[in-house]
Structure 1
């Protein structure tokens, strides 16, 4: 069978499975819609968390960025995995013990202020929309290749599918769908990596082949021959300071991501939250230890397949023609010598490859079986859809629960709250779809912006809210507003307004670290210059850190 038939088969079967799970898990009450009724077992929640967290950026784009950046691409590995450890060990159990639906709920009650809640809602929506735009772009790329349509059409198709799952089953349906999606995406990632590892090194274990074979030395030599810096040489594409800032922003951003944090509210108790965090870390590590090996294998294969070939020779490759049709792969014989050269200088480079197609195209470049190519397409869709669904629920709950129910209509019925939540999913989809069609960068870059915004807005107020009972509402509001505003202005200025990265050359992806530090300082200082929180709030924070029992004290009155 052809790749297209295999793709229709795998994608069709996986979608039938997701639809069945979503239909069986459909809900009518707000607890089921927003936190899956708090009845998800730890191992299932671990798989769902891994699928939710390993987005299109992890599956589709991360290996592509590492392929292009070499050593410097390790920022994504260190930042995202380190951040998850930070979240699992430092924040998640306490947030689960607090027992609220959402991060704005925690902020509003901990800082006894609806103004703080509203600022947190704005930050959650801002972060989640930025993040979900990257997922929609990933979905569009997959559909554009395997349905042979343009990326914009692919994004629209993805919008319809994501909206269906999010609206139907809420968090309960999404959770169990994500368990299935994790199984699909991890097999789709591992099978081609194992095959390539065996073909290129004779060792079927990618992690061992990456470490102990001579593939790195071979790629370094190929790079040197073409005029590139060696693949494993550090700080070539980014300065040491920028690497540090991006890594910290990704770590703190992970620990402040609303759609990941809400996962720990779906389990029965604090103990289950700890166990699900451990399971998720194991499930995540399987992909993240494979990614650097796949990145190296992919770059080596691409150079060998395309460099110094004639345009006629490359067009004899079926995968080349199909990726050219998407507009994500292009060739131009600029010097007229009849052959295509891959060079480090952009003006003379004759092979233009979008970083986001590296993982999806690698099985085709390596001439793997058609069913493997199709499986990767199904895995890419599973990764993008699982995260997009979770993000849409965050946006939905921010409006329906944190604004509508907690601030506008506290008497709203369960049915009314769920209805408002579903309407908000539709609005969020339209905005996310627009940015999926008109992205500000590659998938992983767009996602990195979201992490920077999360680091600059949420991480300090969550951490201080748990570990410093003296932090008050004035400090939290000032810190979030200033941190988020500074980071957003810097990112928008650098990416859209032509502004030079003025802070020691730190990129838009890394500026969230500075925003986080500013937020932390402002929150701490303002809290010390203004009256302390009420006694009952301070007692609540003390109780939050005790090892036993669930939080029973209610929040104080609202500002």
Structure 2
């Protein structure tokens, strides 16, 4: 069979599997729709959490970031995994014990304030919508390439698939679908990595292959070869830091706090039976996540080396140094059709020059070779993982497996985010504040309608994305870190914190973080509407917008403590409630 047939079978087969699971696990009550009936085991929930967590940003975009940023992408690895440790130690078991299965419900009950609940809903929707943009971008990239349709059409197909199993099954359907999606995506990520590691280094484990010598007899280590290849073309060394240590540290912290504060992950810990199972679920999720995250650096490095050696096929300056455009491989032609890879023959020699023309020193050298600028004008970072098996000439079934995995990763997280948005609107806003007398059937209908609306918004923003997937997702983490995480942490560990303090803190943290993002990314992250160029030269104290969430969190804490100090403490009953959260025994509040 040819590659495209394999792709149709793999992607189509996975869709059939997801639809069957959704039909068999159709939600018949709000308990099923919101928390899967609360009967999921810790191992299964850990696997579902891992799939919910490992989004298009993890599967598609993170290795692409590593491929182009090298060392500077390390905060994404450390922050996204380290945040799960914070979640396990500081939040998950206590929130599960409290019993309010959404973030706004916890904040509303803990601070005895519908205003606090409303602000939490606002924070949740802002962070979740920003996050889901990256997932829909990933859906469009995967479908656009592997179903050979336009990017926009790919997003629409993804919307339809998510609609079926999310609206029909709710959390119950999403949970069991995500377990299947985890199996698909982890095989899809690791199998090609093993193939390519063997191909380049002779070592089967990619984690070890990253630090191994090349199998071509040169005696060079893989990373040394990569450094030499890209620096010969004017790019920075793969293993050298670009930004300040402060920026790297705060970006890592922002991603960690954002991970611990993301509502679509927190809600997963209400699908288990007991408080102890919530902690076990986090542990299992970390195990399942580590399989992909320890493989990603190798995938990124190997993808970059394969790309560079494909385009730069001979030593710099040689007559045949660059790839002949007319003889470009099939994978290059295929990705050109998506618009995510583009070439412009600026000097009319029929060959592809790919180098850093913004490096003045190398630009002068390149001019001596007759090169007239970087001719690979578009290389979308989000294509690197999906294109890597094709660049490496792997078997067709492996390419198809990657297609199914990329789609699974994007759809699994999109579904979780959409459910978090839906429950915030139907349960926290409608049921808890606007229409408390609504029936369970009416609330279930409202939840499904809210999810349909969220899917439409997510699809529109996915078709008009402000950046590549991991970049947009990092902004979402900053928003969650600056608004939700401090409110949860203070609600559990500081009984003196009152409603005035937490409301002021959330608004201050969210507001300052959005303002900083708008300055450098533009209004609603639309390029061209920003007041300052998004470069290190203009960033305040050298902090990129993705790293500002940690500063926003610090502002949140400072404002919350300041306002709390000059206002009345919460009632004695509320303070006893906070103490009981951390004490053995059962507690149920909503």
Q: Structure 2 matches for 1:186-197, cutoff 5 A?
A: 186-197=186-197
CA distance in structure 2 between the aligned counterparts of 1:133 and 1:81, rounded to whole angstroms: 21
Q: Is the 8 A contact 1:491 1:508 kept in 2?
A: yes
Name the counterpart of 2:278. 273
Q: Is the 8 A contact 1:28 1:414 kept in 2?
A: no
Name the counterpart of 2:375. 350
Q: Tell me, what secondary structure is at the counterpart of 2:569?
A: coil
Q: Structure 2 matches for 1:426-445, cutoff 5 A?
A: 426-445=452-471
CA distance in structure 1 between the aligned counterparts of 2:191 and 2:551, rounded to whole angstroms: 40
Deviates more, 1:479-488 or 1:338-347: 338-347
CA distance in structure 2 between the aligned counterparts of 1:374 and 1:163, rounded to whole angstroms: 24
Q: Shift of the alpha carbon at 1:4?
A: 1.1
Q: Is the 8 A contact 2:230 2:308 kept in 1?
A: no
Which of these residues, 248, 251, 254, is aligned with residue 249 of structure 1?
254
Deviates more, 1:186-195 or 1:343-352: 343-352
CA distance in structure 2 between the aligned counterparts of 1:217 and 1:3, rounded to whole angstroms: 33
Q: Shift of the alpha carbon at 1:505?
A: 2.8
Which of these residues, 471, 482, 486, is aligned with residue 512 of structure 2?
486
Deviates more, 1:72-81 or 1:83-92: 83-92
Name the counterpart of 1:414. 440
Q: Tell me, what secondary structure is at the counterpart of 2:443?
A: helix
CA distance in structure 2 between the aligned counterparts of 1:211 and 1:122, rounded to whole angstroms: 45
CA distance in structure 2 between the aligned counterparts of 1:385 and 1:498, rounded to whole angstroms: 30
Name the counterpart of 2:364. none
Q: Tell me, what secondary structure is at the counterpart of 2:542?
A: coil
CA distance in structure 2 between the aligned counterparts of 1:115 and 1:452, rounded to whole angstroms: 23
Q: Does the alignment pair 1:311 with 2:325?
A: yes
| Structure-1-length-normalised TM-score | 0.97
Name the counterpart of 2:11. 11
Which of these residues, 517, 528, 532, is aligned with residue 554 of structure 2?
517
Q: Is the 8 A contact 1:452 1:487 kept in 2?
A: yes
Q: Is the 8 A contact 1:250 1:448 kept in 2?
A: yes
Q: Tell me, what secondary structure is at the counterpart of 2:211?
A: helix
String of CA shifts for 1:224-271, please: whole Å, max 9, x gaps: 22222211112x2x3322222211111100000000010111100111
Q: Is the 8 A contact 2:253 2:550 kept in 1?
A: yes
Q: Tell me, what secondary structure is at the counterpart of 2:235?
A: coil
Q: Is the 8 A contact 1:135 1:387 kept in 2?
A: yes
Name the counterpart of 2:402. 376
Q: Tell me, what secondary structure is at the counterpart of 1:458?
A: helix
CA distance in structure 1 between the aligned counterparts of 2:342 and 2:244, rounded to whole angstroms: 29
Q: Is the 8 A contact 1:184 1:382 kept in 2?
A: yes
Q: Is the 8 A contact 1:28 1:415 kept in 2?
A: no
Which of these residues, 542, 545, 551, is aligned with residue 587 of structure 2?
551
Q: Shift of the alpha carbon at 1:502?
A: 4.4
String of CA shifts for 1:168-192, please: whole Å, max 9, x gaps: 0000110010000000000000000
Q: Is the 8 A contact 2:155 2:462 kept in 1?
A: yes
| Structure-2-length-normalised TM-score | 0.91
Name the counterpart of 2:240. 233
Q: Does the alignment pair 1:539 with 2:565?
A: no
CA distance in structure 2 between the aligned counterparts of 1:153 and 1:212, rounded to whole angstroms: 42
Q: Shift of the alpha carbon at 1:146?
A: 1.4
Q: Is the 8 A contact 1:457 1:483 kept in 2?
A: yes
Name the counterpart of 1:217. 224
String of CA shifts for 1:138-183, please: whole Å, max 9, x gaps: 0011111112221111111111111111100000110010000000
CA distance in structure 2 between the aligned counterparts of 1:239 and 1:424, rounded to whole angstroms: 43
CA distance in structure 2 between the aligned counterparts of 1:220 and 1:200, rounded to whole angstroms: 15
Name the counterpart of 1:143. 143
CA distance in structure 2 between the aligned counterparts of 1:348 and 1:466, rounded to whole angstroms: 56
Q: Is the 8 A contact 2:61 2:470 kept in 1?
A: yes
Q: Tell me, what secondary structure is at the counterpart of 1:466?
A: helix
Q: Tell me, what secondary structure is at the counterpart of 2:347?
A: coil
Deviates more, 1:282-291 or 1:159-168: 159-168
Which of these residues, 390, 393, 399, is aligned with residue 367 of structure 1?
393
Which of these residues, 297, 301, 304, is aligned with residue 296 of structure 1?
301
Deviates more, 1:495-504 or 1:536-545: 495-504
Q: Is the 8 A contact 1:50 1:283 kept in 2?
A: yes
CA distance in structure 2 between the aligned counterparts of 1:258 and 1:215, rounded to whole angstroms: 40
Name the counterpart of 2:361. none
Q: Shift of the alpha carbon at 1:509?
A: 0.9
String of CA shifts for 1:295-350, please: whole Å, max 9, x gaps: 01100000011221121121xx1111110000000112223343212212259221
Name the counterpart of 2:363. none
Q: Tell me, what secondary structure is at the counterpart of 1:504?
A: helix
Q: Is the 8 A contact 2:326 2:350 kept in 1?
A: no
Q: Does the alignment pair 1:527 with 2:564?
A: yes
Q: Shift of the alpha carbon at 1:19?
A: 0.8
Query: Which runs of 5 or more structure 1 residues have no equivalent in the other structure?
Result: none
Deviates more, 1:473-482 or 1:484-493: 484-493
CA distance in structure 2 between the aligned counterparts of 1:103 and 1:189, rounded to whole angstroms: 32
